[in-house]
């Protein structure tokens, strides 16, 4: 090689090659091997091109792309929808959450004044956060207002309702182990007719919700795997369909990164569009449920209304969809692109 160089300085003449045409003369030097300063710009430009090239491919096969996107959408919509349902159930019960409350029904015939003294006594206990005194008068008023038996109550000579003390223990005393002895203590007070702690069912409800959450998580993981496989398989087929093209590109000096970029981006597109589809499906389902739920909550005299997917949730679904699509494509590309070499 050294000898060759001294003889004719080949590198010089070779790199100065200009194809005879006048037009080519104009487009001479500078552009060969742009791996210097413009490298980063070229890098982003390459990605930009691939981003739109892949979107073009997705849109050129609308039917098959739509099918893939729909499958991904349904797979993502299931855990998302269940998540929204759970969130709503939690929303309904959220008001009760820290309300471990003991209702003390005082004995019949205890005067309001005496009841006040008992309130003070109980309030002084260290494990008690607050005590609300509901006098028979107040209780009757509430009953009249909400029960719809106002007319019937007019018939009564005297107020049959007892003094009720709503006792709220402190946070520490609300622990199941501590609340039981407290309940026992209060129940044994001489003026107390009945003490009621009816939070058991709430605990059970929370336990059920916790199971539901875990279930949704497991389902989400399984369906995420499904999305990976769907995207991976779609990309694998796309690679096989473009086998010739990939060979030609390799022959004229395309790097693996260049060849795989459009495939990675089409995985990304499929994932993101699938996530959009999932969001639409969930929104549509909630919209369909909205009317009946409204009716039910009216029957319960509640102003509860079905909450939709919050914006953070939408973002999470979109990002998750995109990442899953990208990962699925990456796995497929890693496995299948290397096998294709020109022969």
- Residues at the contact surface with other proteins, assessed by CB under 8 A: 1, 4, 7-8, 10-11, 13-21, 23-24, 26-27, 31-34, 42-43, 45-46, 49, 244-245, 247-256, 258, 341-343
CA 82 to chain centre: 10
DSSP conformation letters of 150-190: HHHHHT-SS--PPPEEEEEE-TGGGSHHHHHHHHHHHHTST
CB nearer to other proteins: give 1 or 113: 1
Cβ atoms of 85 and 138 within 8 Å: the answer is no
Least distance in Å: CB of 228 to other proteins?
A: 27
Cβ atoms of 79 and 274 within 8 Å: the answer is no
CB half-sphere exposure, 60, CA atoms < 13 A: 8
Least distance in Å: CB of 61 to other proteins?
A: 12
CB nearer to other proteins: give 207 or 251: 251
CB nearer to other proteins: give 40 or 156: 40
Least distance in Å: CB of 273 to other proteins?
A: 23
Dmax over Cα atoms in the chain, in whole Å?
128
CB nearer to other proteins: give 4 or 196: 4
* Local structure of residue 50 (DSSP, 8 states): H
Least distance in Å: CB of 293 to other proteins?
A: 51
Least distance in Å: CB of 45 to other proteins?
A: 6
Least distance in Å: CB of 207 to other proteins?
A: 56
CB nearer to other proteins: give 16 or 157: 16
Residues with Cβ within 8 Å of 261's Cβ and at least 6 positions away in sequence, in order, are 46, 47, 50, 54
CB nearer to other proteins: give 13 or 188: 13
Q: Given its phi and psi angles, is residue 2 left (phi above 0), alpha (psi -120 to 50 degrees) or beta?
A: alpha
């Amino acid at each position: 090689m050294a000898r060759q160089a001294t003889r004719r300085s080949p590198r010089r003449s070779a790199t100065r090659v200009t194809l005879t045409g006048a037009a080519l003369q104009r487009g001479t030097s500078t552009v060969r091997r742009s791996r210097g300063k413009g490298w980063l710009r070229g890098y982003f430009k390459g990605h930009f091109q691939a981003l739109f090239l892949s979107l073009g491919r997705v849109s050129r096969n609308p039917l098959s792309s739509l099918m893939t996107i729909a499958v991904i959408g349904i797979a993502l919509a299931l855990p998302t929808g269940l998540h929204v349902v759970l969130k709503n159930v939690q929303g309904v019960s959220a008001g009760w959450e820290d309300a471990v409350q003991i209702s003390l029904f005082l004995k019949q015939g205890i005067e309001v004044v005496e009841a006040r003294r008992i309130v003070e006594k109980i309030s002084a206990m260290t494990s008690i956060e607050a005590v609300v005194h509901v006098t028979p008068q107040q209780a009757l008023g509430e009953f009249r207002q909400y029960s719809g038996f106002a007319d019937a109550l007019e018939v009564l000579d005297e107020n049959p309702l007892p003094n009720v003390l709503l006792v709220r223990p402190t946070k520490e005393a609300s622990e199941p182990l501590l609340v039981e002895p407290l309940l026992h203590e209060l129940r044994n007070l001489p003026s107390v007719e009945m003490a009621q702690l009816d939070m058991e069912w709430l605990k059970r409800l929370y336990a059920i919700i916790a199971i539901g959450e875990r279930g949704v998580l497991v389902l989400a993981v399984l369906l995420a795997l499904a999305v990976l496989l769907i995207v991976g398989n779609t990309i694998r087929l796309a690679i096989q369909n473009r086998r010739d093209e990939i060979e030609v590109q390799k022959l004229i000096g395309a790097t693996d990164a260049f060849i795989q970029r459009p495939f990675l981006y089409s995985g990304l597109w499929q994932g993101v569009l699938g996530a959009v589809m999932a969001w639409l499906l969930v929104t549509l389902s909630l919209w369909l449920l909205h009317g009946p739920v409204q009716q039910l909550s009216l029957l319960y005299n509640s102003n509860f209304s079905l909450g939709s997917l919050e914006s953070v949730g939408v973002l999470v679904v979109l990002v998750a969809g995109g990442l899953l699509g990208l990962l699925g494509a990456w796995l497929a590309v890693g496995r299948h692109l290397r096998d294709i070499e020109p022969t």
